[in-house]
């Protein structure tokens, strides 16, 4: 309980009392979008909540587009972290923007196509009506592609982060005069200072 109180106190210090930036807005948006997503999902899934076809369709569209929006926000957060880790390298920034933009456009196009090729079906479960959605035709093949593209982005980001970390550790191990632990801590603080300053 005490540890939880300290983490809440630290969160207030690091998030709420700082000057707001794009990273703060993205962090809070991603964090609280999960609550909104859960509420919308529950409204559409609970048999005790009766919804019209139009409302049910709108909830389905909202869930899909919210998922896409959160994925984009997380991608921007990861790209910003990597940009900071690579010490604001212009080449790395351009590379990350091109890759993230390409994947975002592809996922957005696939999501829009999949949503347009989805049909809703009404089913009766224990005397209550439930609306279920099924992807039609090639939309069944398209939707898993968005997950594959997201995995590609995550693996790329992980590899870039591991690469720069290993590179910095090797650089530090070549200088035996400096205390290794202190030097590694200093490098980590320096590479992440840009991210936390935003």
User: Mind listing the pLDDT tens digit for each residue in 113-169?
Assistant: 887 777 666 666 566 566 666 666 676 777 788 889 999 999 999 999 999 988 988
Q: pTM higher than 0.85 for the full model?
A: no
Residue 147 CA to residue 30 CA, distance in Å, equals 18
Question: Which pLDDT value is given to residue 189?
Answer: 66
Q: Give the domain range for residue 33.
A: 2-197
Q: How far apart are the first and last CA of the chain?
A: 31
Tokens read off for 57: 């369709």
User: What is the number of domains present in the chain?
Assistant: 1
Which of 13-22, 30-39, 120-129 is the most confident on average? 30-39
């Amino acid at each position: 309980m005490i540890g939880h109180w300290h983490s809440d106190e630290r969160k207030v210090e690091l998030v709420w009392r700082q000057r707001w930036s794009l990273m703060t807005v993205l962090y809070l948006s991603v964090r609280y979008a999960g609550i909104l997503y859960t509420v919308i999902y529950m409204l559409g899934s609970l048999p005790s909540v009766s919804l019209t076809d139009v409302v049910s369709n709108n909830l389905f569209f909202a869930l899909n587009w919210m998922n896409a929006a959160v994925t984009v926000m997380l991608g921007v957060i990861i790209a910003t972290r990597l940009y900071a880790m690579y010490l604001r390298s212009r080449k790395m920034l351009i590379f990350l923007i091109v890759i993230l933009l390409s994947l975002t456009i592809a996922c957005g196009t696939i999501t829009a196509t999949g949503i347009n090729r989805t049909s809703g079906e009404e089913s009766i479960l224990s005397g209550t009506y439930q609306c279920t959605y099924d992807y039609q035709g090639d939309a069944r093949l398209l939707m898993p592609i968005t997950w594959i593209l997201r995995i590609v982005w995550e693996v790329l980001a992980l590899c870039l982060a591991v690469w720069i970390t290993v590179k910095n550790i090797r650089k530090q191990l070549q200088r035996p005069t400096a205390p290794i632990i202190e030097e590694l801590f200093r490098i980590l603080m320096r590479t992440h200072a840009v991210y936390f300053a935003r």
